[in-house]
């Protein structure tokens, strides 16, 4: 079977992803938010005896060297030479969408134009003379409606035909006007003597255009001093006579070319008037109502996720509990007891502990999908940008940070909505400082143990506030140091509101949830098992077990294990914070999951069925520690070492252990220094 490769290019919000799904049948994210497709996705289909591989390029507005996404899309077209490039354009917003097309045309790639959302354009009263436009642009044009699956066969026909057609030189192209064309010609001529390989690969005219635009990427490829000098002269000359950067004037001329083409081929039967979208915007982005509406929606999302989600979460907890009980009950007496413990405490405890969050995750991602697909997410960023910009982040960073109060794992996944890598990494790094739900169990145990009734509320509030303030400071510091760089321009499209389709939302939700499940099934399982071994081995020698009751045996066993030993070993290090080996051991256990801190402490103090409400454990804490130590423990738990699930997710989303470990040790270091200062200063005062 003959095979061809097709690259799918297009603006964000052009419905590119839905066209990709229509063509390949792949279940994949369909969003209504600028920059939703960040990674490269592939899919396949067969048509009339051809095996067609589709590569989904990042959604971009242009093909400059200024953004990673644009560079990725551009170099794929140039370096990988797909047989056909399909440019998906939003027919209802043609001018700006064709801007990308003019740039792909300049790369001399065989093209097909998918006129997407053609139904919407028709409803807006736009009529196209596609035959004439197709002649002007010298490429086939196929009307499609991606989310309804219309135009699939026609598009595939056009692709196959274009792939098989002989390549002809373009006669119609953007002309940049006398002065610029003269300089382009001059540069093309000097290129004639330059490196033949580069010229052959990229094409003479395209190179000349990019050189005149002072494109960093292309300029670095052309080392010939003669060419560099010629380009320098041309740029200076044009700057002089045009009064502007050649790059800017050339971009203007492309729009001029498009305006000309549209003028001749588009008839608009109705004047643009205020539509529903404008009315919604007038309310949702209103100066007075904008923020309250945003906060209310966020509250709804939060409520839905953690309140409504708590019921199925309980069912799952019951299920895993029953599963663990069942295994324990039916386990053959006295046979490989360690394996039983590994299964029950390690595997079910670890993976189950993460999977119980699945309902929350599903609900959360469904809410996000609804916000994205409807177009509200861009408005949320618009409303929050002023505040987030002050700490060097983007308006969109607010959403993952808010989710962090529930659980860091989905919060880190939600940073995918951030386009800029530096912004995204900064946000990921500070997310664990937004105190998550699991840490609440620690506060619930400690606060009533040490503080009088009337101080309990303010104390909890203070802990959360410290996290937020540290998060803001940390973000600012990171943006000034490790992730330094100019803030991304906010310039962001506000797509028209659309009714989300249930299919789109479900696909979208499922994809992310699946990622979470896969994660729980692999890295978290592995780390849970490692931690189980650390907590159970080496085992207490049999002779030392004699005369101990079950609780004492557990207590001694934990102390004898790797975790207990490490906890004891780090005691000298933790002493300046006011912590003893018991807290140290519990802290190490809490790396598996924050809520384990409480049960570990319970085992150490040999309390029966310990949880955050157990009065005897509180009693023990009260007699053993001062309120200052109690506060310091909470402070340390708030800031320090994110749990293994968070580390695993940070690794996954940053694609590097380096950042995950940087976060782990950075936060632990921060926790240590902050707690040290608080304890030492506190000791003087109290």
Partner 1 sequence: MVLESTQSLSASLEDYLQAIFWTVAAKGVARAKDIARQLGVKASSVTGALQTLAEKRFVHYQPYEAITLTAEGFDEAARVAQRHFIVREFFVTVLGLDEAIAEKEACRMEHCLGDDIAQRLAMLMEFVKAHPDMESGVSQLLAERCRSAEMPASVRSGPVTVADLRSGQRAVIVAVRSGGALARRLVDMGLGRGALVEVEGVGPTGDPIRVRIRGYQLALRRMEAAAISVVGR
Least spacing, CB of residue 214 vs partner 1, in Å: 9
Note whether 252 binds partner 1 by CB under 8 A: yes
Note whether 389 binds partner 1 by CB under 8 A: yes
Site for partner 1 in 592-611 (CB under 8 A): none
Question: Please, are residues 585 and 563 in contact by the beta-carbon 8 Å criterion?
Answer: yes
Note whether 251 binds partner 1 by CB under 8 A: yes
Q: Which residues pair with 115 in a beta bridge?
A: 89, 143
The three-state secondary structure class of 509 is helix
Q: How far is CA 152 from the centre of its chain?
A: 30
Considering only CA atoms, which of 400, 435, 395, 401 is closest in space to residue 416?
400
Note whether 282 binds partner 1 by CB under 8 A: yes
* Separation of alpha carbons 91 and 112, rounded Å: 14
Q: Of the candidates 18, 93, 599, 620, which one interacts with partner 1 according to CB under 8 A?
A: 93
The three-state secondary structure class of 139 is coil
Note whether 275 binds partner 1 by CB under 8 A: no
Site for partner 1 in 340-379 (CB under 8 A): 378
Residue (276 or 684) nearer to partner 1, CB? 276
Q: Of the candidates 494, 523, 529, 676, which one interacts with partner 1 according to CB under 8 A?
A: 494
Least spacing, CB of residue 178 vs partner 1, in Å: 11
Residue matched to tokens 């436009």: 133
Note whether 255 binds partner 1 by CB under 8 A: yes
Q: Please state, in angstroms and as integers, the Cα–Cα distance from residue 44 to each residue in 50, 188, 451, following that order.
A: 10, 39, 63
Residue (82 or 375) nearer to partner 1, CB? 375
Contact window for partner 1 (CB under 8 A) among 150-158, 287-295, 572-580, 617-625: 287-295
DSSP letter string, 214-274: T-HHHHHH---HHHHHHHHHHHHHHHHHHSS-HHHHHHHHHHHHHHHHHHHHEEE-S----
Question: Please, are residues 411 and 643 in contact by the beta-carbon 8 Å criterion?
Answer: no
Contact window for partner 1 (CB under 8 A) among 197-205, 250-258, 343-351, 472-480: 250-258
Residue (246 or 359) nearer to partner 1, CB? 246
Note whether 247 binds partner 1 by CB under 8 A: yes
Q: Of the candidates 354, 492, 606, 650, which one interacts with partner 1 according to CB under 8 A?
A: 492
- Let me know the angle formed at the C-alpha of 29 by 25 and 35, rounded to the nearest 5 degrees: 130
The 160-199 site mask, x for binding partner 1 (CB under 8 A), equals: ----------------------------------------
Task: Tell me, by CB under 8 A, how many residues bind partner 1.
Answer: 47
Note whether 95 binds partner 1 by CB under 8 A: yes
Contact window for partner 1 (CB under 8 A) among 282-290, 359-367, 418-426, 440-448: 282-290
Q: Of the candidates 157, 317, 345, 493, which one interacts with partner 1 according to CB under 8 A?
A: 493
Considering only CA atoms, which of 63, 52, 69, 54 is closest in space to residue 7?
54
* Separation of alpha carbons 20 and 536, rounded Å: 50
The three-state secondary structure class of 549 is coil
Query: Is residue 573 packed enough to be buried (19+ CB in 10 Å), middle (13-18) or exposed (0-12)?
Result: exposed
Note whether 64 binds partner 1 by CB under 8 A: yes
Note whether 288 binds partner 1 by CB under 8 A: yes
Residue (96 or 186) nearer to partner 1, CB? 96
Note whether 501 binds partner 1 by CB under 8 A: no
The three-state secondary structure class of 620 is helix
Q: Of the candidates 236, 248, 480, 569, which one interacts with partner 1 according to CB under 8 A?
A: 248
* Separation of alpha carbons 154 and 141, rounded Å: 10
Considering only CA atoms, which of 65, 52, 170 is closest in space to residue 111?
170
Contact window for partner 1 (CB under 8 A) among 57-65, 194-202, 417-425, 450-458: 57-65
Note whether 245 binds partner 1 by CB under 8 A: yes
Contact window for partner 1 (CB under 8 A) among 276-284, 306-314, 437-445, 624-632: 276-284
Residue (263 or 481) nearer to partner 1, CB? 263
Least spacing, CB of residue 592 vs partner 1, in Å: 42
The three-state secondary structure class of 143 is strand
Residue matched to tokens 């070492």: 641
Considering only CA atoms, which of 594, 635, 591 is closest in space to residue 612?
594
Q: Of the candidates 167, 168, 272, 273, which one interacts with partner 1 according to CB under 8 A?
A: 272
Note whether 107 binds partner 1 by CB under 8 A: no
Residue (486 or 549) nearer to partner 1, CB? 486
Least spacing, CB of residue 462 vs partner 1, in Å: 27
Note whether 386 binds partner 1 by CB under 8 A: yes
Question: Please, are residues 656 and 673 in contact by the beta-carbon 8 Å criterion?
Answer: no
Q: Of the candidates 62, 78, 616, 626, which one interacts with partner 1 according to CB under 8 A?
A: 62
Note whether 480 binds partner 1 by CB under 8 A: no
DSSP letter string, 394-453: -GGGHHHHHHTTT-HHHHHHHGGG--SHHHHHHHHHHGGGS--HHHHHHHHHHHHHHS-H
Contact window for partner 1 (CB under 8 A) among 168-176, 382-390, 431-439, 475-483: 382-390
* Separation of alpha carbons 202 and 215, rounded Å: 14
Question: Please, are residues 204 and 188 in contact by the beta-carbon 8 Å criterion?
Answer: yes
Q: Of the candidates 27, 47, 96, 122, which one interacts with partner 1 according to CB under 8 A?
A: 96
Alpha-carbon torsion (97, 99, 102, 106), positive or negative: negative
Residue matched to tokens 């592995």: 526
Residue (287 or 335) nearer to partner 1, CB? 287
Contact window for partner 1 (CB under 8 A) among 131-139, 189-197, 246-254, 460-468: 246-254
* Separation of alpha carbons 61 and 484, rounded Å: 25
Residue (67 or 234) nearer to partner 1, CB? 67
Least spacing, CB of residue 154 vs partner 1, in Å: 26
Positions in the binding site for partner 1 (CB under 8 A): 61-62, 64, 66, 93, 95-96, 99, 244-245, 247-248, 251-252, 255, 259-260, 262-263, 272, 277-278, 281-282, 285-288, 290-291, 378, 381-383, 385-387, 389, 486, 489-496
């Amino acid at each position: 079977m003959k095979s061809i490769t097709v690259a799918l290019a297009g603006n964000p919000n052009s419905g590119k992803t839905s066209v990709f799904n229509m063509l390949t049948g792949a279940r994949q994210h369909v969003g209504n938010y600028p920059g939703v497709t960040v990674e490269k996705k592939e899919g396949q289909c067969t048509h009339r005896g051809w095996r067609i591989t589709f590569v989904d390029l990042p959604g971009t507005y242009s093909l400059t060297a200024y953004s990673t996404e644009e560079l990725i899309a551009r170099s794929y077209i140039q370096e990988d030479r797909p047989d056909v490039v399909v440019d998906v354009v939003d027919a209802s917003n043609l001018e700006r969408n064709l801007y990308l097309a003019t740039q792909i045309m300049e790369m001399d790639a065989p093209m097909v134009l998918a006129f997407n959302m053609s139904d919407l354009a028709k409803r807006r009263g736009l009529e196209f003379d596609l035959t004439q436009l197709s002649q002007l642009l010298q490429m086939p044009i196929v009307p499609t409606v991606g989310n309804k699956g219309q135009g699939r066969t026609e598009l595939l026909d056009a692709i196959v035909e274009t792939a098989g057609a002989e390549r002809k030189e373009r006669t119609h192209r953007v002309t940049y006007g006398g002065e610029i064309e003269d300089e382009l010609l001059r540069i093309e001529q000097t290129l004639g003597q330059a490196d033949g390989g580069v010229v052959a690969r990229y094409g003479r005219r395209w190179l000349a255009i990019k050189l005149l635009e002072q494109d960093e990427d292309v300029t670095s490829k052309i080392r010939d001093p003669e060419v560099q000098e010629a380009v320098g002269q041309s740029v200076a000359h044009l700057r002089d006579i045009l009064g502007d950067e050649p790059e800017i004037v050339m971009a203007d001329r492309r729009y001029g070319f498009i305006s000309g083409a549209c003028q001749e081929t588009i008839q608009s039967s109705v004047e643009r008037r205020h539509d529903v979208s404008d009315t919604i915007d007038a309310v949702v982005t209103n100066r007075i109502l904008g923020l309250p509406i945003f906060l209310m929606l966020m509250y709804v999302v939060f409520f839905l996720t953690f309140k409504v989600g708590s019921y199925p979460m309980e069912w799952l907890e019951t299920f895993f509990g029953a599963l663990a009980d069942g295994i324990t009950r039916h386990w053959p007496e006295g046979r490989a007891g360690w394996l039983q413990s590994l299964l029950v405490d390690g595997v079910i405890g670890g993976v189950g502990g993460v999977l119980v969050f699945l309902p929350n995750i599903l609900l959360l991602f469904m809410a996000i999908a609804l916000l994205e697909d409807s177009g509200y997410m861009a408005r949320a960023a618009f409303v929050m940008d002023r505040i987030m910009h002050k700490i060097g982040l983007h308006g969109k960073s607010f959403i993952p940070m808010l989710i962090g109060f529930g659980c860091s794992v989905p919060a880190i996944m939600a940073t995918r909505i951030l386009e800029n890598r530096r912004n995204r990494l900064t946000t990921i790094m500070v997310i664990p400082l937004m105190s998550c739900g699991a840490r609440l169990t620690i506060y619930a145990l400690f606060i009533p143990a040490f503080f009088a009734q009337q101080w309990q509320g303010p104390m909890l509030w203070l802990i959360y506030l410290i996290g937020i303030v540290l998060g803001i400071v940390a973000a600012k510091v990171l943006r000034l140091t490790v992730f330094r760089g100019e803030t991304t321009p906010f310039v962001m499209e506000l797509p028209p509101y659309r009714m989300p389709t249930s299919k789109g939302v479900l696909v979208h939700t499922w994809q992310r949830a699946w990622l979470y499940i896969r994660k729980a099934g692999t890295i978290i399982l592995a780390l849970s098992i490692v931690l189980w071994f650390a907590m159970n081995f080496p085992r207490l020698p049999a002779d030392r077990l004699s005369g101990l009751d079950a609780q004492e045996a557990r207590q001694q066993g934990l102390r004898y294990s790797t975790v207990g030993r490490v906890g004891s070993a780090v005691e000298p290090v933790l002493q300046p914070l006011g912590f003893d080996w018991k807290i140290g051991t519990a802290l190490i256990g809490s790396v598996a999951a924050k809520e384990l801190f409480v049960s570990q402490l319970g085992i150490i103090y040999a309390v029966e069925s310990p949880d955050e409400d157990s009065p005897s454990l509180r009693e023990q804490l009260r007699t053993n520690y001062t309120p200052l130590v109690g506060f310091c423990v909470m402070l340390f738990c708030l800031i320090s070492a994110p749990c293994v699930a968070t580390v695993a997710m940070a690794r996954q989303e940053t694609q590097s252990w380096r950042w995950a470990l940087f976060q782990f040790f950075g936060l632990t270091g921060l926790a240590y220094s902050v707690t040290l200062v608080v304890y030492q200063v506190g000791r003087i005062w109290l």
